[in-house]
Structure 1
């Protein structure tokens, strides 16, 4: 067991692509965690997607030795979708390295995570990274940290993780400034479950931070929130290679395995205690992770349904934060309705299914969770409230009293020249402006927006309008009543369930017209006219018509009386009418994919 005064637990806070993973690589290399030969870039990012996109999806931990001190580094996700995981990782530390890019300055997500860190009473060590870039302005960034965050940056460490500049100074600053953990080895065991993942050989691997007491191999432990008991069969730490230990004491971070088969049993934020001598109260801050965004996943080829079911079940082994249930669609066949933490989470799961399991998928338009207050029927004592995940399941409008939708508070940082276009984008999406301040040459915007308007393609539009310079961060602020309606798309008078969506009455017509125009281009022509309509209830709000393909039936008539031609044309007209009554429109899969991918042109 390591002496408490010689332990330092810290995490690295940074916006996406500010050099967090590279700095972690350098710290591991400098402290001798891995030899030159074993090193690869972004050591702590295990998934290909993490390496390619330069993002961290799963929290990782590594134990380093420096001048007789044990440093536990938590590499946390930087994206808003994983905010709860970040909060648990931060709760397991006493301090944080704030990494800011010397060329880009403070960004939205840096701010969100710094405030979380400050709430946990952390000692924050600012590190200005990438100082060797030609565009680097360390002094300007130093002033920005002091102005925006209010931290003293006079002693900020100047470093370049890529070139290895200032790495020793970073390690010395961690030892000097971050306080050691507190804890009592004699008290009943209390340990926080920071993260868990599935390993095909070891079962579920649980990342823990011991607060009080000790964790030993062969000990019977209890999960206080889940209420289950397990026997520990392995205790260890990552350096970043697995090293087995006999025990973990107060203040230490490591991992345990206990023959658990399902990640859903080991929920992030749970408290572990000794089954024979339990602690009185669990650690604060635990909450159930709720999916925020829902969409349908369908295989392009109907024969792949079983393969999709198997693949989703395997992914769920490793990620308990997404949910799925079976659903059927008249247009797309069998598939699954899945719930995700946010849009990035949705994209990652979809990409992993495509890549790791070789599946071709159609994703329906993402939707959020709506709360519906139903009107009270005669036999009921009070009105019922239901949650709606799928627009296709919306009850009859006469039975609905009110519809509430989730709202978010968004913080956007944007260079001054793009401000006008971003303000217009937020206004178009029913945003309410709360604040606008200037920091250096950049504007900081605070907006309240309906999540429904953000899940479509808000982020993509924001990036394209600002040429990639805007940064965006949000958190949910609750539900509000809205004038929302279900918009159905009808092709040849048949509703297409996969294209129905819930929209605000004010933007329904624009949305509907855009969808009809797009489908007109995507659906191939048939031998009869095809009307494409967007409708709210029984009222059509937009329409496009695909012209019929025509065979020239009068080609063989030359000369003679006009009535011969007319007779043939009348016959053709009758045939077309009959065909339209009984003919069915085949909508190709590509049309669905393109229509859904485009989301909303806005």
Structure 2
């Protein structure tokens, strides 16, 4: 046990952690030259295409130093703010962390928040300056920032390059010297923490775990504490590039268990595995329940695919524990699911994965957040979508979720960043200059304002330099209204949205204009209206397509023409009573894309 080292890699997105992980695997000869490729741990096509890590990946390496053999368990983690839940799980399974900082960009917002996660779990931090081979690297400046942030000595910071392999040997030596060996009692009852799981169509659910106390062997009867289910261990082993079976795993080991679990629901990430005969006294703590930030409805395009979509969601949730979903139905779109995501990138990735891995074509409704509604009866209800809102006379007040956003940007862009945040109803609480060039701004903002396009706008006004991180700070009262869209007086529930009073008029008008372009003309006039409660705030009319009934009258008395026109008018009136308006699919999608 004293020769085991468990560590993870934390960094901001694009600071080169996957490339550095490749070098570590190469030097320890975990991956042969034939199998070596760029970003070897990023197994999804999506990860390779976008150059980002979405899932945490665990891999075991052997390393020899001064004649002693060490086992290094590395967990590579994502860097994007939407996947911080993955990072919190990896940190719970480690004793040390490599903090990687790009020597050309310096410290970014996500680096700081991941570092705090690691410090809360008392991990040993090894600071590393990456990308030292680039001509625009500024090691001294960035080293000063690191010393300010974690208070280490300048000699503790390792200068490295994932591309050339410089400094990688030193990183391995430092891991062996600084990261503590796992603590635990090999004789105690088994206590293992599940930190990830995947679904294999042939072997069922495979859970990845770290043993804190005791040991686990093939053939044991184990029990999952939270779900209270019992299983026989068919196979245990360690995670190399593939899975390697072992007879038994001891305290401090990271590995996988296959026990023929068929149902995705039976494995919970963060659960504890113990023996049926000698159970441990209590489950392991240290996991935060995942809190979805953005909610959207996901509906199959063909209503017959509902059951397939449910199966696809279950399998996706196994692979990505931060996805939450519950069934809901809509008059316009049929049956579907109300899903909770950690952010807009997360939502985009889930849509892509449904399409690629399960061939599911889905429509996603307008993303929104959850609100607290206090009614006149003294009740408090949580509302995820506009149709769940009680009638206006029953609402006392609505509270919306607020976040504290930390934005680190170059000093040149402070003005534009402030303007953007103020437009989104943000309130500035703090401004710090980290160096002469870079400032950290702290804003309190409504979450509902940033779920749409805030991140994209922030990147474009700061030319890609600003980094952004946020956490929830609670709920505050807000003047929110429900904006409804009516077609000929009938409400279309899928187009309703909860919105701040100041933005309602603008959005209502733009939605009406957009729908007028996209809804095909009928034999009768169609009125498109935007309403708040009973008050209409915008209206557009689609004119009827009409036949010229007076074409056959030439000359003659005007009353003949009038008689024909009156007859046509009656027909149109009758048609308007029985005719209904179909909203085409592309009209839904276009309205959802309104920024």
> What TM-score comes out, normalization by structure 2 length?
0.92
CA contact (8 A) 2:264 2:315 kept: no
Pair 1:389-2:390 in alignment: no
> What is the total number of aligned residue pairs between the two structures?
590
The residue number in structure 1 matching 2:428 is 433
Stretch moving more, 111-120 or 573-582: 573-582
The residue number in structure 1 matching 2:14 is 17
Q: How does 1:459-498 map to 2 (within 5 A)?
A: 459-498=455-494
Return the alpha-carbon distance in structure 2 between the equivalents of residues 151 and 552 of structure 1: 86
Specify which of 439, 442, 464 is matched with residue 443 of structure 1.
Answer: 439
From the superposition, tell whether residues 284 and 300 of structure 1 become closer, same or farther in structure 2 (CA, over 3 Å).
Answer: closer
Return the alpha-carbon distance in structure 1 between the equivalents of residues 194 and 308 of structure 2: 32
Stretch moving more, 586-595 or 173-182: 173-182
CA contact (8 A) 1:294 1:337 kept: yes
Q: How does 1:431-580 map to 2 (within 5 A)?
A: 431-440=426-435, 441-549=437-545, 575-580=571-576
Return the alpha-carbon distance in structure 1 between the equivalents of residues 204 and 303 of structure 2: 32
The residue number in structure 2 matching 1:585 is 581
CA contact (8 A) 1:262 1:317 kept: no
Return the alpha-carbon distance in structure 1 between the equivalents of residues 460 and 563 of structure 2: 57
From the superposition, tell whether residues 548 and 439 of structure 1 become closer, same or farther in structure 2 (CA, over 3 Å).
Answer: farther
CA offset digits 1:164-192 (Å, max 9, x no partner)? 23222221222222222222212222222
CA contact (8 A) 2:197 2:318 kept: no
Return the alpha-carbon distance in structure 2 between the equivalents of residues 260 and 27 of structure 1: 34
SS at 1:52 equivalent: helix
Pair 1:234-2:235 in alignment: yes
Stretch moving more, 527-536 or 97-106: 527-536
The residue number in structure 2 matching 1:87 is 88
CA contact (8 A) 2:431 2:439 kept: yes
Q: How does 1:48-87 map to 2 (within 5 A)?
A: 48-67=45-64, 68-87=69-88
The residue number in structure 2 matching 1:380 is none
The residue number in structure 2 matching 1:379 is none
C-alpha deviation, 1:319, in angstroms? 3.7
Specify which of 401, 411, 425 is matched with residue 406 of structure 1.
Answer: 401
C-alpha deviation, 1:268, in angstroms? 2.1
CA contact (8 A) 1:196 1:263 kept: no
From the superposition, tell whether residues 471 and 548 of structure 1 become closer, same or farther in structure 2 (CA, over 3 Å).
Answer: farther
Stretch moving more, 566-575 or 88-97: 566-575
CA offset digits 1:503-539 (Å, max 9, x no partner)? 1223222222232233233333444433222211111
CA contact (8 A) 2:8 2:75 kept: yes
From the superposition, tell whether residues 549 and 424 of structure 1 become closer, same or farther in structure 2 (CA, over 3 Å).
Answer: farther
CA contact (8 A) 2:85 2:322 kept: no
CA contact (8 A) 2:207 2:267 kept: yes
CA contact (8 A) 2:264 2:314 kept: no
C-alpha deviation, 1:306, in angstroms? 4.2
Return the alpha-carbon distance in structure 2 between the equivalents of residues 89 and 178 of structure 1: 15
The residue number in structure 1 matching 2:178 is 177
The residue number in structure 1 matching 2:27 is 30
Return the alpha-carbon distance in structure 1 between the equivalents of residues 312 and 251 of structure 2: 39
CA contact (8 A) 1:270 1:286 kept: no
C-alpha deviation, 1:28, in angstroms? 0.9
The residue number in structure 2 matching 1:423 is 418
CA offset digits 1:50-84 (Å, max 9, x no partner)? 22222222222111111222111011232333333
C-alpha deviation, 1:565, in angstroms? 6.2
Stretch moving more, 187-196 or 286-295: 286-295
Q: How does 1:272-351 map to 2 (within 5 A)?
A: 272-351=273-352
Return the alpha-carbon distance in structure 1 between the equivalents of residues 83 and 552 of structure 2: 70
The residue number in structure 1 matching 2:162 is 161
Return the alpha-carbon distance in structure 2 between the equivalents of residues 466 and 521 of structure 1: 34
Unaligned 5+ runs, structure 1: 377-382
Return the alpha-carbon distance in structure 2 between the equivalents of residues 135 and 529 of structure 1: 64
The residue number in structure 1 matching 2:5 is 8
From the superposition, tell whether residues 309 and 7 of structure 1 become closer, same or farther in structure 2 (CA, over 3 Å).
Answer: closer
Return the alpha-carbon distance in structure 2 between the equivalents of residues 265 and 115 of structure 1: 32
SS at 1:367 equivalent: coil
Return the alpha-carbon distance in structure 2 between the equivalents of residues 121 and 317 of structure 1: 28
Return the alpha-carbon distance in structure 2 between the equivalents of residues 70 and 404 of structure 1: 51
From the superposition, tell whether residues 390 and 252 of structure 1 become closer, same or farther in structure 2 (CA, over 3 Å).
Answer: same
From the superposition, tell whether residues 460 and 83 of structure 1 become closer, same or farther in structure 2 (CA, over 3 Å).
Answer: same
C-alpha deviation, 1:563, in angstroms? 6.5
The residue number in structure 1 matching 2:118 is 117
SS at 1:368 equivalent: coil
For the aligned residue pairs, the C-alpha RMSD in angstroms reads: 2.5
Return the alpha-carbon distance in structure 2 between the equivalents of residues 445 and 269 of structure 1: 34
Stretch moving more, 149-158 or 508-517: 149-158
> What TM-score comes out, normalization by structure 1 length?
0.91
CA contact (8 A) 1:197 1:263 kept: no
From the superposition, tell whether residues 556 and 138 of structure 1 become closer, same or farther in structure 2 (CA, over 3 Å).
Answer: farther
Return the alpha-carbon distance in structure 1 between the equivalents of residues 555 and 337 of structure 2: 62
The residue number in structure 1 matching 2:137 is 136
From the superposition, tell whether residues 277 and 582 of structure 1 become closer, same or farther in structure 2 (CA, over 3 Å).
Answer: same
Return the alpha-carbon distance in structure 1 between the equivalents of residues 300 and 269 of structure 2: 31
C-alpha deviation, 1:351, in angstroms? 1.0
